Amino acid sequence: MMRMVTPAPPGGNLDNTARLLTSRLPAVTGDTWMVDNRPGGNTVIGIEAVVRAQPDGRTVLYHATAMAMIPWTHKLSFSLPDDLLPVVQVSTERYAVVVPIASAVTSLRALEEAAASREGGLNCIAAPGVSNMACEQFRARVRGRSTTIPYAGVAPALQATVAGLGDVMFCNFEAVTRMVEAGRVRIIGVSATQNLPPPYARLAVINDVWPEFVIEGFSGIFVPAATPAARVRELVRDFNRVLADPEVAKVMRDSGQEPVGGTSDDFSRVLRRASQRYGEVIQRLALGVK
Distance CA 212, CA 210 (A): 6
Grouping H, G, I as helix, E, B as strand and the rest as coil, residue 49 is helix
Residue type, position 19, single letter: R
For residues 159-174, b (16+ Cβ closer than 10 Å) or e, as one string? ebbbeeebbbbbbbbb
Q: Which of the listed ranges 80-84, 173-177, 255-259 does the model predict with the highest average pLDDT?
A: 80-84
Can you list the domains of the chain with their CATH numbers? 2-92+216-284 (3.40.190.150), 95-209 (3.40.190.10)
Name the residue with higher pLDDT: 246 or 94.
246
pLDDT of 165 over the 60 cut: yes
* % of the chain with per-residue pLDDT over 90: 76
| Range name among 104-113, 199-208, 238-247 with the lowest pLDDT average | 199-208
- pLDDT reported for residue 208: 96
Q: How confident is the model at residue 59 (pLDDT cuts 50, 70, 90)?
A: very high
Q: Does residue 81 have a cis peptide bond before it, meaning omega lies within 30 degrees of 0?
A: yes
Provide mean pLDDT across the span 54-70: 95
Name the residue with higher pLDDT: 234 or 258.
234
| CA distances from residue 56 to 51, 148, 266 in whole angstroms, order as listed | 12, 39, 22
pLDDT of 32 over the 70 cut: yes
Residue among 120, 125, 188, 134 nearest 161 (CA): 125
Output the DSSP codes for 150-193. E-SSHHHHHHHHHTTSSSEEEEEHHHHHHHHHTTSEEEEEES--
Provide mean pLDDT across the span 237-263: 92
pLDDT of 42 over the 70 cut: yes
Average pLDDT, the chain: 93
Name the residue with higher pLDDT: 4 or 12.
4
- pLDDT reported for residue 289: 63
| Under 8 Å between Cβ of 32 and 59 | no
pLDDT of 290 over the 80 cut: no
| Range name among 24-33, 42-51, 170-179, 256-265 with the lowest pLDDT average | 170-179
Q: Within a 13 Å sphere around the CA of 186, how many CA atoms are in the beta-carbon half? A: 16
Provide mean pLDDT across the span 65-72: 90
pLDDT of 195 over the 80 cut: no
Name the residue with higher pLDDT: 154 or 53.
53
pLDDT tens, residue by residue, 106-162: 999 999 999 999 999 999 999 988 999 999 999 999 999 999 999 988 889 999 999
Distance CA 54, CA 180 (A): 42
